[in-house]
């Protein structure tokens, strides 16, 4: 692990990344993944430069075709003359060698395109986990100039669903077939969706899946409240590109609408609040870990073991002494 970057080194990396140096950008993102002081230094530098990007979350069950769809969507963004960065969240483990390779292969269309930056994200020690590391990484991509940041997660597990739902526009991908929409509902995906994609829409069951989605939306929380607009439902075949232009149009439409209504700002405020709470918790957790070592800690353990203090009394003394 390289030495911790100081403020000047981070500013230099950020300037180079803004000029298109992808290696510099990759190093910044590695610092974010590692967490700790390095991640904080990067967050500090990126924060004032960020805010211009629109983030798009893409989620759905494994095998729904999210990566192929993300790939195709990147093509649309590039055709519109804009730059796009993709964060592919790998929930499996800190060991993402395979995943990085897999994503590179699947997203092969854009590996030589300087206007597309693709990164498989993992947390290598970030105390806040993916739910803190992902917005920090997205902020770096935003700060260096990408106007579109796509965050792709598997819609399995609360952390991944929450991460996808924390985007400015959240796209939920389902497939035709009995029960897929119902599964999405169970996984909490109905609540976070700004847009639905029925991918693999050349298969049987597309019309039924659309009806399932529509009837679940009609029962949903937002229905009937003033100004509420149901999420659009787009049909695609990501492998052929069919419908991907519709998806791109729907994403832009949602962005324009949420900016105009103030909804995007409201959500960003909520997210800032959530992120600050998570940062406080991560920091306090770090302090707690620091208290569970050293002489005072050994003394507290000894007191519990010889029966002179119960665990709560020993902990209280430990926290009091070191405050």
Indicate the helix (H) or strand (E) that contains 128. Answer: none
Contact set for its own copies, span 49-68 (CB under 8 A) = 51
Measured between alpha carbons, how far is 82 from 69 in angstroms, rounded to an integer?
17
Q: Which residue, 263 or 275, has its beta carbon nearer to its own copies?
A: 275
* Interface with its own copies (CB under 8 A), residue from 19, 214, 276, 294: 276
From the number of C-beta atoms within 10 Å of its C-beta (0-12, 13-18, 19+), residue 156 rates as middle
From the number of C-beta atoms within 10 Å of its C-beta (0-12, 13-18, 19+), residue 173 rates as buried
179 conformational bin, left if phi > 0, alpha if psi -120 to 50, beta if neither: left
> Min. distance of Cβ 293 from its own copies in angstroms?
10
* Interface with its own copies (CB under 8 A), residue from 19, 158, 277, 321: 277
* Part in contact with its own copies (CB under 8 A); list of ranges 5-13, 18-26, 109-117, 312-320: 312-320
Applying CB under 8 A, does 186 fall inside the site for its own copies?
no
Q: Which residues are CB-neighbours of 301 under 8 A, at least 6 positions away?
A: 314
* Interface with its own copies (CB under 8 A), residue from 2, 82, 313, 321: 313
* Interface with its own copies (CB under 8 A), residue from 211, 280, 294, 321: 280
* Part in contact with its own copies (CB under 8 A); list of ranges 59-67, 92-100, 193-201, 308-316: 308-316
Computed from CA positions of residues 157, 266, 170, 125, in that sequence, does the dihedral angle turn out positive or negative?
Answer: negative
Q: Which residue, 9 or 317, has its beta carbon nearer to its own copies?
A: 317
Count of chain residues binding its own copies (CB under 8 A) = 37
Measured between alpha carbons, how far is 197 from 215 in angstroms, rounded to an integer?
16
Q: Which residue, 136 or 180, has its beta carbon nearer to its own copies?
A: 136
Q: Which residue, 221 or 313, has its beta carbon nearer to its own copies?
A: 313
* Interface with its own copies (CB under 8 A), residue from 205, 230, 291, 299: 291
What is the β-pairing status of strands 232-236 and 54-60? unpaired
Applying CB under 8 A, does 216 fall inside the site for its own copies?
no
The neighbour count for residue 301, using CB atoms within 10 Å, is 15
- Residue 308 is classified by DSSP as S
> Min. distance of Cβ 65 from its own copies in angstroms?
30
Q: How far is CA 173 from CA 92, 183, 186, in A?
A: 20, 12, 14
Applying CB under 8 A, does 283 fall inside the site for its own copies?
yes
* Interface with its own copies (CB under 8 A), residue from 48, 62, 63, 262: 48
Applying CB under 8 A, does 157 fall inside the site for its own copies?
no
> Min. distance of Cβ 297 from its own copies in angstroms?
8
Measured between alpha carbons, how far is 8 from 149 in angstroms, rounded to an integer?
26
Measured between alpha carbons, how far is 24 from 15 in angstroms, rounded to an integer?
9
Contact set for its own copies, span 26-45 (CB under 8 A) = 40, 43-44
Applying CB under 8 A, does 267 fall inside the site for its own copies?
no
* Part in contact with its own copies (CB under 8 A); list of ranges 62-70, 162-170, 177-185, 304-312: 304-312
Measured between alpha carbons, how far is 235 from 258 in angstroms, rounded to an integer?
22
Applying CB under 8 A, does 318 fall inside the site for its own copies?
yes
User: Vertex 105, ends 102 and 107: CA angle to 5°?
Assistant: 105
Interacting residues toward its own copies by CB under 8 A? 40, 43-44, 47-48, 51, 269, 272-273, 275-277, 279-281, 283-285, 287-288, 291-292, 300-301, 304-305, 307, 310-316, 318-319, 323
């Amino acid at each position: 692990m390289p030495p911790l970057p100081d403020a000047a080194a981070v500013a230099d990396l950020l300037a180079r990344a803004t000029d298109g140096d992808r290696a510099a950008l990759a190093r910044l993102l590695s610092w974010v993944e590692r967490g700790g002081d390095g991640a904080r230094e990067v967050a500090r530098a990126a924060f004032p430069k960020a805010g211009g990007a629109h983030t798009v979350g893409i989620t759905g069950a494994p095998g729904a075709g999210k990566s192929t769809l993300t790939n195709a969507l990147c093509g649309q963004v590039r055709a519109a003359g804009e730059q796009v960065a993709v964060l592919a969240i790998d929930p499996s483990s800190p060991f993402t060698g395979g995943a990085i390779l897999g994503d590179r292969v699947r997203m092969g269309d854009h590996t030589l395109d300087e206007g597309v930056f693709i990164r498989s994200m993992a947390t290598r020690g970030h105390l806040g986990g993916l739910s803190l590391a992902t917005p920090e990484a997205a902020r770096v991509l935003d700060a260096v100039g990408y106007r579109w940041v796509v965050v792709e997660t598997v819609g399995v597990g609360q952390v991944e669903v929450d991460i996808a739902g924390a985007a400015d526009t959240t796209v939920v991908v389902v497939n035709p077939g009995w029960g897929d929409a119902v599964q999405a509902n169970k996984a909490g995906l109905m609540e976070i969706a700004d847009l639905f994609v029925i991918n693999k829409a050349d298969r049987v069951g597309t019309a039924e899946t659309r009806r399932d989605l529509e009837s679940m939306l009609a029962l949903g929380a937002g229905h009937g409240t003033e100004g509420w607009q149901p999420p659009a439902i787009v049909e695609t075949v990501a492998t052929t590109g069919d419908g991907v232009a519709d998806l791109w149009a729907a994403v832009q439409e949602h962005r324009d609408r949420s900016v105009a209504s103030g909804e995007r700002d409201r959500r960003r405020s909520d997210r800032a609040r959530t992120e600050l709470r998570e940062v406080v918790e991560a920091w306090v957790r770090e302090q707690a870990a620091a208290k569970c070592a050293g002489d005072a800690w050994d003394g507290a353990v000894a007191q519990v073991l010889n029966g002179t203090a119960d665990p709560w009394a020993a902990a209280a003394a430990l926290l009091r002494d070191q405050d």
